[in-house]
Amino acid sequence: MKPKTLFPFFNEDPKSQSLSIGWLLLGFASLLMYLLKVSIDVFDLQRQLMLSWGVFVILACMYKWQVTKRPPWRFLFILLSGFLALRYLIWRSTETLIYTGPLDFIAMTLLYLAEVYSLTIYMLGILLNLWPLRNRPLKLPPNLADYPTVDVFIPTYDESDDIIRITTIAASQIDYPKDKLRIHICDDGSTINKRNNPATAEVAWARYYRLRRLAQDLGANYITRETNVAAKAGNLNHALHQTHGELFLVLDCDHVPTHDILRRTVGFFSADPKLFLVQTPHFFINPTPVEKNLIGVGNPNRENDMFYKEIHRSLDFWNSSYFCGSAALLRRRYVMEVGGIAGKTITEDAETSFHLHSLGYNSIYLDRPMVCGLSPESYKDYILQRTRWAQGMVQLFLLSNPLMAKGLSFHQRLCYFNFCFYWFFGLARVMFFIAPALFLLLSLKIYFASFTQVISYAVPYIFSTFMLMDFFYGRARQPFFSEIYESVQSIFLAPAVIAVLFNPHKPSFKVTPKGNTQEQDFLNPLAAIFFVIILINILAIGAGVISWFTDPILRDTLSVTAVWCTYNVVLAIISLGAFWERKQLRQFHRINVEEPIRIRLAGADAEYVGETLDLSMTGLGFKVKLPKPPAVSEPVMLETTSSDGRTFVFNAVFKRVIERNGVFYCGTEFVLDKQSYAQAVAYLYGDSGRWTRFWAKKTRNEKTFRMLGHLFVSGIKGMAESFGIMTSSGVQYLVALQRKYAKK
């Protein structure tokens, strides 16, 4: 029974609430649009100033007021934010676009389009985040005979055997009737073509025999095919034609499933015969390169937390949750109805969902992490992954046009349009980085506004966007971090997106490398572009200072652009600081946990209770009070219990022991054989309760400024490193040039 609310439609089934909410929003929106029209027609600049800051103060008070999280106040807060945004757009479109020359016009138009793009994404975000859902697992059928059969597909290309072994073992441990479950290793790295090609035959044949033996040892089925045509989509489609399960679970080969993933997802398919997808979060055991720079400084939310903790729950309200390539359970019959996994774009997952939603089928998002994967280890791999996502979604935008797609509801069209259109952010970011410098260095007239107008229209709008983003995503992302994540990607994604615009069929699927190691810390050469941006904006500020004295009439515009340049410099320095590649020597990542553990020393009858500190596939660390310090290499028996009641016992040896105030901090290494290795996989990866607690421990705003300060200091260090690299490269180039002409 759902709790009663002041608004009856919130007691309805979540999927049927959109019409009722629409009427409520229409009433709020009508009132605000009337106020917007009156303010534009009647108010002078002084009253506009009072209106904008009055609305902002109301927003700030509501932001601190917890009841704002509930309807109707949530909608009022959202609409007031939208009011400031629309008000800025109308003012920007009607009063600031003045033609003064062809070059000025081009620069002015590019900046205006970048702002319109940002406002469009902002307004779409407002609509899509109206009411996030929180689904709970549905029970499986009471009769085992009614359980659907499930195939588990583990597609692989060139990943290490260890990664594949761990995921396959975990898949075989899933709590589901064994006669209803079949595991398949779908190997695209040992195709017939690769084995017949003299250049790749040796490696391909060796991999073929290794993975066949691995599959046989683990009770899995091994599948390969003739060629790599259509990449991952082709691999999955080939597997679909070799198998017969009613449902299929897709796991990237580095995505290790938990014990309960099917117990918590299969029930949805029995409840909704039109359901084609249950998507669950992608949870990563290791930090992205950006987050790795903050280890020991703060506890930042993972970059994907915002999407999987908040945005995807909001999409679920609009029946627009889409397949994310892994950690998803799908109904075979409906997928085959559209010809299998789509392969027209390189984001086969979202494209498949697009086609199935177009046929009127439903999707569900269950916000409980039940896989554990690996993030890209280096910036090269990180950018490669994001480039594939960006190019694939732009392909979908160009080739399928979600706004005009038949079969989608109006809100689904907007959702898919937003998925695709978002990835143009690189173009807008680049424009925002260079726009003020175009005025200060090249005297291009791109923004016509007085200081008072900017304070009346632009500043309240900008501040309100930060407030609304924190309102939506505050529990999943620290303030300002979206600016960093988008900035470090934007320079590299912009040319990739432009390439797709010219040739939508050109992009090809590239596998993201996982599990790489890094010998030492270094500044990634990709950071050099941010050094250039910093120099340009610093030079622009210097030019602005000179113009302040030589052109007093322009001081309003100079003030605005100088502040803008300063913001760009700070953002670019922080972004540059995030480009330090941190040393990564461990093959298996450690995670920090705080769980009870029971310790039995060799030759002792007593049992001691301690607390785990960290764990990995090779061992764990814990703290405990003992009567005497254990010796290094001394055997120990460790016993622990998962959140779902399973008990695990491991033989281990002490590798390090440190005493602090009577407490021993111990590091141990497991002594593993074939059976205990499988137990280690079950212990480390099988407990979704651990990943849920891990999610909950991520900070909201704690130490945000400390983390930003650390990245800023790292950026200053990176500037010095970049200057040295560029100076050295310049000297080498001049020496080579001199030698070339000396020979002539």
Annotated catalytic sites, by residue?
188, 349
Specify the 3-state DSSP secondary structure of 616.
coil
Phi, psi values for residue 261, rounded to 5°: -60, -40
Specify the 3-state DSSP secondary structure of 614.
strand
Helix (H) or strand (E) holding 711, with range, is helix 704-743
Give the residue carrying structure tokens 């219990």. 641
Give the residue carrying structure tokens 């200053």. 716
Rounded to 10 deg, the angle between the 459-473 and 73-95 helix axes is: 150
Nearest partner of 232 among 510, 515, 514, 513, judged by Cα: 510
- Is the torsion defined by CA of 728, 730, 731, 737 positive or negative? positive
Distance CA 316, CA 133 (A): 6
- Reading phi first (left if > 0) and then psi (alpha if -120 to 50, else beta), residue 511 is in beta
- Is the torsion defined by CA of 554, 560, 563, 568 positive or negative? negative
Q: Six-digit token pair at 596? A: 């009870």
Helix (H) or strand (E) holding 82, with range, is helix 73-95
Specify the 3-state DSSP secondary structure of 615.
strand
- Is the torsion defined by CA of 433, 437, 439, 444 positive or negative? negative
Secondary structure E strands in 282-352: 328-331
Q: Six-digit token pair at 629? A: 């310090």
Query: What is the full DSSP assignment across 118-149?
Result: HHHHHHHHHHHTSS-----PPPPPSSGGGSPP
Distance CA 445, CA 336 (A): 56
Q: Find out whether 124 and 403 touch, Cβ atoms under 8 Å.
A: no
Residues belonging to the chain: 744
ω into residue 72 within 30 of 0, thus cis?
yes
Specify the 3-state DSSP secondary structure of 97.
coil
Buried (b) or exposed (e) across 596-626, using 16+ Cβ within 10 A?
ebbbbbeeeeeebebebbebbbbbbbbbbeb
Give Dmax (Cα) for the chain. Answer: 89
β-bridge mates for residue 615, sequence order: 591, 620
Query: Cβ neighbours of residue 220 under 8 Å, at least 6 residues apart?
Result: 154, 168, 171, 172, 183, 184, 185, 214
Distance CA 636, CA 501 (A): 61
| Structural Rg of the chain based on CA atoms | 28
Phi, psi values for residue 660, rounded to 5°: -140, 115
How far lies 59's CA from each of 18, 25, 222, 464, in Å? 25, 17, 58, 8
Nearest partner of 671 among 652, 698, 655, 643, judged by Cα: 652
Query: What is the full DSSP assignment across 373-420?
Result: B---SSHHHHHHHHHHHHHHHHHHHHHH-GGG-TT--HHHHHHHHHHH
Distance CA 198, CA 609 (A): 59
Give the residue carrying structure tokens 């506890």. 299
How far lies 623's CA from each of 72, 331, 599, 615, 694, in Å? 49, 46, 10, 12, 19
Buried (b) or exposed (e) across 212-235, using 16+ Cβ within 10 A?
eebbeebebbbbbbeebebbbbbb
Q: Find out whether 419 and 393 touch, Cβ atoms under 8 Å.
A: yes
